[in-house]
Amino acid sequence: MIALFDEVELPNHTRDMKKLFALLLLAFAVPVAAVAQVDADTPEVRQKRNDETSAESENSTRGRESDAAVGERPDSSPGSDDDLPPLPEDLVTQERRLREKKVKLELSLRDAVTFTLQNNLNVRLASLDNAIRERDIVIARSAFDPFFNVGSTYAKNRDPTVSFLDVGAGRQGITVNPSETTEYNASLNGEWVTGTTYDIQLEQAKFNRPAAEAGGITAINPVTRTVASADLRQPLLKGAWYSVSTADVRIAQNNFQVSNDEFERVLVDAVYQVEQAYWELAFAIQNLRSREKALRVSREDFENARKRRAVGTFSDNDVTTVESQWVLRKVNYRQAWLLVDDARDRLLNLMNYAGDTSLRTAWRSRSDKSYYQEVGIRCTSEPDERELTINRKDALGAAFENRPEYKQISTNLKNQTIRVEVSRNELLPSLDVLGRWANLGMEENFAASYESLEGGRFYDWLVGVEFSVPLSNRGPRSRYRNAREELRKLHVQKQDLENTIVLDVDRALRTIANLRLRVIDLEEQVRLQEKLLRDERLKLEVGKTIAYTVSTIENDLISSQTESLRSKADLQIAKADLYRAMGKLLERHQLWVSDN
């Protein structure tokens, strides 16, 4: 048509119309040809073209094998006769071969908790401390145990004397006064819970004074003296009566209760930590499986992309996009293995899987590998998907009744109240009532002296009152003020703990409610993104989208899958946290701590 217009002589305006018509015709012809090409490039046509070029694609560039091994894409044009380089060994197969485990554990949550409570080092320490506090009660009570004393002495003297009372009359100057003394004594003394002190004694002494006997001073020589006595002292003000005397015993008993509560707290923390670590490991294993599947798919996609580029249906940019996704999946896969290793080590360490062997000893004996590296764990417990029906009122009531920390601080308040009472008593002056009774006996020998003692002919007794007050009482006053301040501190700490308990319960309830909805939403998001990815892959097959769009959707899907798995693990951990906040975590696992 353009040639026809050129053969005829036309006016200028007609010639201009000819040029405009030619341009319109050319503009219409180009898109029609493009559409025709797209319509002709159906899957059947492309399959036929792939069959025709299959022989060429199988003979791709083997000479660039070393470049492909380090991740460099060979330069080949569409339809090239060069062979495609083989991909490196499958990373999944390689990692599994390198990480082959010698010990494989089938571990349920119940097994993990039981093993932890039997072997955890913190539980062992708390148990030892509990035994120490129990013996402290015995030590405090021992203050009221009586003491029995027995003794004997023998003395021989040659004392100088100038007194006729020692040697008799008729001697002048300094003379020797020889004597021998033999003593036996036994006593029983102690303190009663009322603050009364007692001392019961039996003494016997034999005196031999031969010079006095020769001088006619003594009628009997040797002579034996026997004394049986009892002394009592009862405070009336300072240090008096039961409440003050037994303060240390009551404090020790309360400390034992505090130790019991501390032991329970350690058990609760151990159970919570092992449950948290268990679900962390379960998540890490599921995440590893997801990353492993994504890595295999990305490897297949990369292989297919290279073949499609060889036949001209994929551009270099498309292959680069798919290859970058493959590299990213390898990074994610190795990161997933790192999460599994860390979670496994944490769980085994909480369980004290090494037992009495420290990891330092294990390192010195086998320094090439970690002690836990040879252990593989498969978590057999399934997440508890039942919905909790716990309201805030019941949760807080259980928390204030069962939380070991709250019971501890209540017991500490009792102890400090006792200390305040004792320090207040120390401000008082001393006012003691005392008394003594003694029976005496004296004869030539021990037997006769006892008989004289039993007759009651000789005795003495004493009663009295003692009063004592310090001129400066600043020490006891300061101790009393300190005790009161410590009591105020405990009241403040109790208020702070009450606030913490309420916030812990509220946070746990909110977290569970949020995570329950999050799990549902993320599962729906994963379902929708899986459908979107399937549709986009079909569009990629027919050339109606690009590889970058598919890669973006794949990344979003994998992120959503990871978040979904993470939220399910977090929900199980949040449930354990709620039971811990309520003080009922041990009961949930059917564990109880006795008062003994």
- Separation CA 415–CA 423 (nearest Å): 12
94 or 121: which leads in pLDDT: 121
At residue 185 the predicted structure's pLDDT band, cuts being 50, 70 and 90, is: very high
**Alpha helix ranges (H) inside 41-146:** 43-52, 54-58, 65-69, 91-98, 109-119, 121-141
Instruction: From 89, 79, 90, select the one nearest 307 (Cα to Cα).
Output: 79
β-strands 223-235, 197-208: how paired?
Answer: antiparallel
At residue 87 the predicted structure's pLDDT band, cuts being 50, 70 and 90, is: low
At residue 130 the predicted structure's pLDDT band, cuts being 50, 70 and 90, is: confident
300 or 408: which leads in pLDDT: 408
User: HSE-up of 446 (CA within 13 Å, CB side)?
Assistant: 9
The yes-or-no verdict on residue 485 having pLDDT over 90 is: yes
399 or 309: which leads in pLDDT: 399
User: HSE-up of 562 (CA within 13 Å, CB side)?
Assistant: 18
The yes-or-no verdict on residue 276 having pLDDT over 60 is: yes
The yes-or-no verdict on residue 144 having pLDDT over 70 is: yes
Contacts of 150 (CB under 8 A, 6+ apart): 185, 186, 187
pLDDT of residue 79: 35
Q: Is the dihedral of CA 439, 440, 446, 448 positive or negative?
A: negative
**Three-state SS at 582:** helix
The yes-or-no verdict on residue 538 having pLDDT over 70 is: yes
Average pLDDT in the chain:
82
pLDDT tens-digit profile of 542-588? 888 888 888 889 889 999 999 999 999 999 999 999 999 999 999 99
The continuous run of DSSP H or E covering 432 comes out as strand 430-443
Say which amino acid occupies 24: L
pLDDT of residue 101: 67
pLDDT tens-digit profile of 189-199? 999 999 999 99
The yes-or-no verdict on residue 201 having pLDDT over 90 is: yes
Six token digits for residue 132: 């120490």
Mean per-residue pLDDT, 456-469:
92
pLDDT of residue 497: 96
pLDDT of residue 98: 60
pLDDT of residue 85: 55
The yes-or-no verdict on residue 184 having pLDDT over 60 is: yes
Highest mean predicted confidence (pLDDT) among 153-162, 494-503, 539-548: 494-503
pLDDT tens-digit profile of 3-39? 333 333 334 444 444 443 443 333 333 333 333 333 3
pLDDT of residue 288: 92
Q: Is 521 exposed, middle or buried (0-12, 13-18, 19+ CB in 10 A)?
A: middle
Q: Which residue has the tokens 């039993």?
A: 454
- DSSP state at residue 444: S
User: HSE-up of 197 (CA within 13 Å, CB side)?
Assistant: 9
Instruction: From 474, 467, 387, 390, select the one nearest 433 (Cα to Cα).
Output: 467
Angle between helices 392-402 and 547-582 (to 10 degrees): 50
Highest mean predicted confidence (pLDDT) among 13-17, 36-40, 292-296, 497-501: 497-501
Mean per-residue pLDDT, 255-270:
94
Instruction: From 351, 371, 379, select the one nearest 287 (Cα to Cα).
Output: 379
**Alpha helix ranges (H) inside 432-473:** 446-455
At residue 150 the predicted structure's pLDDT band, cuts being 50, 70 and 90, is: very high
